[in-house]
A = this chain, B = another copy of it.
Amino acid sequence: MATNSEPTVAVHTLELRRLGIDTYRENVVYLHRECELYRAEGFQALSKVKVCADNRRILAVLNVVDDESIVMPTQLGLSEEAFGKLGLAQGSLVSIEHAERPQSMGAVRRKIAGERLSQQDFRDIIGDITDKRYSKTEISAFLVATGQSDMDRDEVYYLTRAMVESGEQLSWNEPLVVDKHCIGGIPGNRTSMLVVPIVAAHGMLIPKTSSRAITSPAGTADTMEVLANVELDIGKLHDIVRKHRACLAWGGTAELSPADDIMITVERPLGIDSLGQMVSSILSKKLSAGSTHLLIDIPVGPSAKIRHMRQAQRLRKLFEFVGDQFGIQLEVIITDGRQPIGFGIGPVLEARDVMQVLQNLPEAPNDLRQKALRLAGRVLEFDPDVRGGRGYTIARDILDSGRALEMMNRIIGAQGEQQVKFEAGKLTYDLLSPADGVVVNIDNLRLSQIASFAGAPRDKGAGVDLFKKLGSRVEQGEPLYRVHAEFSSDFDFALRLCQDDSGYAIGDQSQIPAAFVEF
Check if A235 is an interface residue, CB within 8 A of chain B.
no
5 new A-B contacts at CB < 8 Å, known A45-B269, A136-B136: A5-B429, A12-B488, A12-B492, A69-B69, A141-B144
Residue contact A114 to B45, C-beta cutoff 8 Å? no
- Residues of A participating in the B interface, judged by any CB pair closer than 8 Å: 1-5, 7-8, 12, 19-24, 30, 33, 37-39, 41-42, 44-47, 63-67, 69-70, 79-80, 97-98, 101, 105, 109, 112-114, 135-141, 143-145, 147-149, 214-215, 265-266, 268-272, 274, 426-430, 432, 453, 455, 458-459, 479, 487-493, 495
Identical chains in the assembly: 2
User: Which residues of chain B come closer than 8 Å to A269, judged between CB atoms?
Assistant: 45-47, 101, 135, 137
Q: Which residue of B lies closest to A488 (CB)?
A: B8
- Given contacts A114-B148, A266-B137, A488-B12, whether A21 and B271 have CB atoms under 8 Å apart is no
Residue contact A98 to B453, C-beta cutoff 8 Å? yes
A208-B139 Cα distance, complex, nearest whole Å: 37
For residue A117, give the distance in angstroms from its CB to the closest CB of chain B: 14
User: Which residues of chain B come closer than 8 Å to A274, judged between CB atoms?
Assistant: 112
Contact residue among B8, B42, B65, B491 (Cβ-Cβ distance under 8 Å from A455): B42
A427-B8 Cα distance, complex, nearest whole Å: 10
For residue A152, give the distance in angstroms from its CB to the closest CB of chain B: 14
Residue contact A141 to B270, C-beta cutoff 8 Å? yes
For residue A440, give the distance in angstroms from its CB to the closest CB of chain B: 22
For residue A104, give the distance in angstroms from its CB to the closest CB of chain B: 12
Q: Which residue of B lies closest to A457 (CB)?
A: B42
A427-B4 Cα distance, complex, nearest whole Å: 8
Q: Which residue of B lies closest to A429 (CB)?
A: B4
Residue contact A64 to B21, C-beta cutoff 8 Å? yes
User: What are the nearest 3 A-B pairs in CB distance?
Assistant: A20-B67, A20-B66, A2-B430
For residue A291, give the distance in angstroms from its CB to the closest CB of chain B: 28
For residue A214, give the distance in angstroms from its CB to the closest CB of chain B: 6
User: Which residues of chain B come closer than 8 Å to A428, judged between CB atoms?
Assistant: 3-5
A2-B37 Cα distance, complex, nearest whole Å: 65
- Given contacts A137-B140, A492-B8, whether A45 and B65 have CB atoms under 8 Å apart is no
A64-B25 Cα distance, complex, nearest whole Å: 12
User: Which residues of chain B come closer than 8 Å to A19, judged between CB atoms?
Assistant: 67, 70
A-B contacts, 9 of them at CB < 8 A, read A5-B426, A5-B429, A8-B492, A20-B65, A21-B66, A22-B65, A37-B489, A41-B458, A144-B145
